[in-house]
Structure 1
């Protein structure tokens, strides 16, 4: 699959899109990463896709986009990218691993984040806590631990990085939250992406 070519075609079809890839070809990119939101559509009489069908499509995408040097690698935010600041207390928010939201929250999650988050914008990411510890490091640590909690039930750094890969997180979200509780465990994938590129001791 020529993902770069596909994206270029999409830019051509939609005049409002900036043609950022116009002067590039597939060989110009050694790695490709995709960041998607787990935005499940509510099932009603007008929606023919049921929950299982939507999740099956996501599963297929995770299986296909599983290598950054080949087809590209997919990362999923639960439920969406705004999870990067869903902390109800100042960092480090040790209750973060418990935070969930309704499965069909949709765009309302943006409003919920504004209402519930201790931080009202993204400026906090580059700041430090009262002990002069980097907030970004807290964000990475908390999301890694939470991914491990979702997969293993342990709110701690995993012993092996691969134990919290994207497929494992997705499958455990389905079994422990989506199908049993109609919930999603809030999680951001950008810290998990960084986690794969740094030694585990960096996040202690």
Structure 2
């Protein structure tokens, strides 16, 4: 039996059921248990069993967790014997915003947890969601070419679920789930299953590449999975993101965009008429969430020559979208479509997202249809 221990009882088990259906061999025997509290609570409970100092406690994970859960009135593991479990996997959020202890204390505790839960055939294997499981929802349309750049500060993690919901291309987790409707037609079920599988494969590729980037600075699939050990990812998160002036965590950043912006600014100060530098700086501003600065740089290009720098118009639209100024974003987007002879699929998708936020359903559907049609044309031209 393989034991999966999740932090929460709502989101994670639903996602797991889809993963099990899509990717697990039929003979696999998983058992799911939810802890229903965060990783720092689990640490404090485990301390009471002296597991981090007492080596004799090693290998008794099922027994200890059952005791902890039963004290909370949860009998989920009551009938599970240690000898029946071949592998144990634990999935918990980093919960960057947790403030009952200092950040340094929290980080030390997670370090101890990762050291203890480092082997699925022994005490168990701990996997950390950065900053929380909802990061799987923080994407544009999959595959998301910008995923490598996403990170979030500790301050913003207090409202990360809403942040992810507002940013996401998707309205919910439904794009990652198989159908649970017994009355749904088989054709629709199969289509939803195929869509979910494709999206999970995209997410897997994006997250493995991102983990490798966090660890070694290379956007690629690593040759060995050992290169992405959980403690290695964690140490690099701390060194490159958490223990920095901006105090942030990368979703699962890559190059230091702040330093690049400083270089572009210095260059622009010396070469104020080199307009390509404003374009590149505007893109960097958007990536790090400085949307007002992005709007200003794009507007400078538009004022200079909006037909030469027509991309600046759609880039301004995107920045306005993230500022939630949807009415102004739509006004600027419509101007772009009026002067641009051949808007791309991505431009239609961006305007469609504005329509979605403004609850303009017919317009949203029309732009999404055109975006998909143009993407198909682009693929045909490539092949």
- Scaled by the length of structure 1, the TM-score of the pair is 0.80
**Matched residue SS, 2:128:** strand
Q: How many pairs were matched up?
A: 178
The answer to whether the Cα contact below 8 Å between 1:42 and 1:104 also exists between their aligned partners in 2 is no
2:242 match: 178
Among 57, 64, 69, the residue aligned to 2:116: 64
Confirm or deny that 1:23 pairs with 2:88.
no
**Offset of 1:40 from its aligned partner?**
3.1
1:102 match: 153
| Distance (whole Å) between structure 2 residues aligned to residue 42 and residue 140 of structure 1 | 27
1:37 match: 93
| Distance (whole Å) between structure 1 residues aligned to residue 86 and residue 208 of structure 2 | 26
Larger radius of gyration: 2
Among 166, 190, 200, the residue aligned to 1:136: 200
| Distance (whole Å) between structure 1 residues aligned to residue 212 and residue 133 of structure 2 | 19
1:12 match: 70
| Distance (whole Å) between structure 2 residues aligned to residue 103 and residue 160 of structure 1 | 31
**Matched residue SS, 1:158:** coil
**Offset of 1:104 from its aligned partner?**
4.1
**Matched residue SS, 1:91:** coil
| Distance (whole Å) between structure 1 residues aligned to residue 164 and residue 125 of structure 2 | 27
**Matched residue SS, 1:134:** helix
2:128 match: 76
Q: Which has the higher helix share?
A: 2
- Scaled by the length of structure 2, the TM-score of the pair is 0.44
**Offset of 1:133 from its aligned partner?**
8.2
Q: Which residues of structure 1 form unaligned runs of 5+?
A: 188-204
Q: Which residues of structure 2 form unaligned runs of 5+?
A: 1-56, 178-191, 253-383
